[in-house]
């Protein structure tokens, strides 16, 4: 099994964390989707990471689809809750967290346009999404250690990844100060092995892999 990823991608990080939690052996290939010679163009029609190449040489893409596949081939520990109510709750948290990451990416892409074409109104709209999304997560976690039913699952993977992606790509907003509930949550989970292993700074690719590798 092989995973094509980009170092700072929060979506790919979700998959890497899930693979580690399930102790599934795999090879990691670091790619730059923005480059002309990217590996993604022949394996995902959307040209995006992550992409999982199965042992049967099938290509699976999109983090949600990949993680659901991992739950199928190795059900325990479950990443997506089986209980219908918990499953829905976890999906909602994942959707909000991914939406925050999406908005951060859109701001980044807007800021690399020709200066006189940059829309401050568009950027402000994305910033509002980020702040409102973080506020929602803060209210949901409150003083709890886990988002859904007091156990680790996709909701926590998504939320934690989202918070650390904000540290990298949305530094101008101090979410720790604005949302102390989320800061307490982050402190509780920051030393979890899968979170600590797979951060923006990958030891095997470059001194600062967050620079120049797309979203």
| 5 three-class SS | strand
Tell me what the mean pLDDT of segment 43-60 comes to.
Answer: 94
Check: CB of residue 97 under 8 Å from CB of residue 151.
no
The pTM score is 0.90
Does the pLDDT at position 200 exceed 70? no
Strands 2-5 and 27-30: parallel
| 76 three-class SS | coil
Q: How sure is the predictor about 209, in pLDDT bands with cuts at 50, 70 and 90?
A: very low
Check: CB of residue 45 under 8 Å from CB of residue 62.
no
Residue with the two structure tokens 């074409």: 117
The per-residue pLDDT for 100 is 98
- Of 34-48, 63-77, 116-130, minimum mean pLDDT range: 34-48
Check: CB of residue 20 under 8 Å from CB of residue 194.
yes
The per-residue pLDDT for 207 is 35
Tell me what the mean pLDDT of segment 16-38 comes to.
Answer: 91
What domains appear along the chain, each with residue ranges and CATH number? Answer: 2-78 (3.40.30.10), 84-196 (1.20.1050.10)
Tell me what the mean pLDDT of segment 37-55 comes to.
Answer: 91
Q: Please, where are the H alpha helices in 30-178?
A: 63-73, 84-111, 120-141, 154-169, 175-178
Mean pLDDT rounded to a whole number for the chain? 91
Which tens digits make up the pLDDT trace of 125-165? 999 999 999 999 999 999 999 999 999 999 999 999 999 99
The per-residue pLDDT for 208 is 35
């Amino acid at each position: 099994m092989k995973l094509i990823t980009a170092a700072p991608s929060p979506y790919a990080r979700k998959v890497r964390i899930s693979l580690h939690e399930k102790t599934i052996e795999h090879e990691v290939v670091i790619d730059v989707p923005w480059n002309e010679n990217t590996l993604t163009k022949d394996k995902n029609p959307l040209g995006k990471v992550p992409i999982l190449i199965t042992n049967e040489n099938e290509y699976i893409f999109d983090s949600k689809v990949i993680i659901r596949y991992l739950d199928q081939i190795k059900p325990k520990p479950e990443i997506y809750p089986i209980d219908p109510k918990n499953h829905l709750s976890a999906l909602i948290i994942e959707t909000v967290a991914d939406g925050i990451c999406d908005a951060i990416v859109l701001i980044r892409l807007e800021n690399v346009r020709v200066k006189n074409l940059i829309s401050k109104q568009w950027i402000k709209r994305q910033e509002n999404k980020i702040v409102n999304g973080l506020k929602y997560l803060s209210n949901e976690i409150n003083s709890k250690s886990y988002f859904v039913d007091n156990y680790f699952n996709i909701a926590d993977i998504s939320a934690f990844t989202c918070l650390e992606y904000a540290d990298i790509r949305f530094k101008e907003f101090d979410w720790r100060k604005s949302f102390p509930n989320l800061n307490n949550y982050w402190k509780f989970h920051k030393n979890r092995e899968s979170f600590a292993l797979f951060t923006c700074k990958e030891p095997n690719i470059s001194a600062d892999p967050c620079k120049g590798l797309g979203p």
